[in-house]
Amino acid sequence: MNFFGAMYDKTMEWSKHRLAAYWLAFVSFIEAIFFPIPPDVMLIPMAMTKPQSAVKFALICTAASVVGGMVGYSIGYYAFDLVQQYIVKWGYQTQWDKAISWFKEWGVLVVFVAGFSPIPYKVFTIAAGVMQMAFIPFVLTAAVSRAARFVLIAKLAAWGGTKFADKLRRSIEVIGWSVVALAVIAYLVLK
């Protein structure tokens, strides 16, 4: 079954499209608000296939993510009552509670950690608004955090380049199905 290989091929095809940078910006923007797929899915193949533009792609990701984070912050600040039900419905309640407790304990530093945390970034942007964190420190910390993450990822992907992309393609089915198996095992163990 060539399930993951087909997805990989399609993603690599999208990464070479003439509008790929716009799609990358769009995904980065909406991921900071509600979208479940991180922009890394576009950033990595784009940086691998065009290593000379890796930092540019990382900065596009950063700018769009920070603007999306400002929207997420505004939602948390002004309209949390409207979105609270979706936090529960989409299964983010545990992550939400953890983010709120981190905000109470560490304040603005949590936004920096959010760039590298397994908790989705959108949880932090909305939580920052709910906690009424100072807006300018939120934006500055988000910019530094997101830039650090995206530049690191883009540089690593560019370093691997097309040779790594080819090697990854040959192993993608094994990697993909191994991750699925680990997820099922983790679910059964934790259940």
Q: What is the pLDDT of residues 117-171, one digit of tens each?
A: 767 888 888 889 988 889 999 999 999 999 999 999 899 889 987 777 777 777 7
Average pLDDT of span 60-89: 91
DSSP-derived letter for residue 118 is: S
Q: What is the pLDDT of residue 1?
A: 59
> Which secondary structure element, helix H or strand E, spans residue 27, and what is its range?
helix 20-31
CA 41 to chain centre: 8
Q: Is pLDDT above 90 for 177? A: no
Instruction: Report the alpha-carbon distance of residue 77 to residue 79 in Å, rounded.
Output: 6
Q: Is pLDDT above 90 for 95? A: no
Average pLDDT of span 61-87: 91
Residues 97, 72, 104, CA angle at the centre, nearest 5°? 35
Instruction: Report the alpha-carbon distance of residue 138 to residue 112 in Å, rounded.
Output: 9
Instruction: Report the alpha-carbon distance of residue 114 to residue 139 in Å, rounded.
Output: 13
Residue that wins the pLDDT comparison between 87 and 33: 33
Q: What is the pLDDT of residue 143?
A: 93
DSSP-derived letter for residue 92 is: -
Q: With cut-offs at 50, 70 and 90, classify the pLDDT of residue 80.
A: confident
Residue 68 CB coordination number (10 Å)? 27
CA 18 to chain centre: 22
121 token code pair: 């970034």
Instruction: Report the alpha-carbon distance of residue 142 to residue 65 in Å, rounded.
Output: 9
Residue that wins the pLDDT comparison between 102 and 139: 139
**Under 8 Å CB-to-CB from 93, ≥6 apart: which residues?**
87
Q: Is pLDDT above 80 for 49? A: yes
Instruction: Report the alpha-carbon distance of residue 109 to residue 90 in Å, rounded.
Output: 26
Average per-residue pLDDT for the chain: 85
